[in-house]
Amino acid sequence: MLQAPDLMGTSLRSFTHPADIDTIAELMPTHTHTLLLFLWFSLASPCQAATGNDKVVSPETIDGTTIVDAEGLIEAVRQVPGLILIDSRITADRKEGFIEGSVSLPDTDTNCDSLASTAPSRSTPVLFYCNGINCGRSAEAAIIAVDCGYTNVYWFRNGMEEWLEQEFPLVQ
C-alpha cells in the first residue's frame, strides 16, 4: 500500500505556482510528483477562472489581441484582408452549427505547428471564437497564437452565445 508523502505539514493550497511544486518534489516519489504537475496544469489554465458555481469564465482581455463583438466580427471579415476565422470549439459543438467561412481548429489541437498550417504567416490576421464567455477554448487558442508570435489576433469573446442572440445565421 502506498503511503502519502510527509510534506512537513504543508498543504497543497499553500502552493500557488508550478515552480512551488518543485520545492516538494524531493519529498515525493516520482510518479506522485508527475501526477501533481499534471493536475496543476490541467486545473490551473491561465485563460479560465472558476466562479462559485464552477463555471468557466473567459478573461476580460488577452494581451496581444483585439476583442470584437458579433458586429465587429462581420466588419472584420469584410474589411480585414486575408482574415482567417477560426472555430476553436470541439467537433461536436461545430456539428450544431458554425459561422460561415470559419475553419475548425479546436483549442486542444492548437499549437504553433497547427496554426502555421492554417495561417502560414505570423502577420496573417486570425480571429478566434468558441461558445461564449463560459467557454475558455477561444481564449486558450488566442493566447497560444500570441505566444507563437502572431501579431494580428482578434478574439470574439462572447462567441456563439452573442452570435445566436443577434440571430445571425449559422452553417449546419
The enclosing domain of 85 has a CATH number of 3.40.250.10
pLDDT at 27 (0 to 100): 41
**In the predicted model, is pLDDT for residue 103 greater than 70?**
yes
pLDDT averaged over every residue in the chain: 79
One domain for residues 25 and 72:
no
CA distance 18 to 37: 7
CA distance 45 to 42: 7
Alpha helices in the chain (DSSP H): 18-22, 30-43, 70-79, 91-95, 112-118, 137-147, 159-165
Count of the separate structural domains present in the chain = 2
CA distance 40 to 74: 38
One domain for residues 63 and 147:
yes
How does residue 89 score in pLDDT terms, banded at 50, 70 and 90? Answer: very high
CA distance 114 to 19: 28
The more confident residue out of 168 and 49 is 168
Domain that holds residue 18: 12-44
The span from the first CA to the last CA of the chain, in angstroms, equals 53
Distances (CA, A) of 139 to 11, 65, 158: 31, 10, 10
One domain for residues 65 and 142:
yes
Do residues 127 and 68 touch, judged by C-beta distance below 8 A? Answer: yes
**In the predicted model, is pLDDT for residue 112 greater than 90?**
yes
Mapping DSSP to helix (H, G, I), strand (E, B) and coil, where does residue 114 land?
A: helix
In a domain, 60, yes or no: yes
The more confident residue out of 97 and 55 is 97
**What nine digits make up the cell of 164?**
445566436
Q: Residues 59-68: pLDDT tens digits?
A: 999 999 999 9
Average pLDDT over residues 28-52: 38
One domain for residues 29 and 60:
no
Do residues 85 and 156 touch, judged by C-beta distance below 8 A? Answer: no
pLDDT at 17 (0 to 100): 37
Q: Residues 123-161: pLDDT tens digits?
A: 999 999 999 999 999 999 999 999 999 999 999 999 999
In a domain, 131, yes or no: yes
**What percent of the chain clears pLDDT 70, i.e. is strictly above it?**
68
Q: What is the C-alpha R_g of the chain?
A: 19
In a domain, 172, yes or no: no
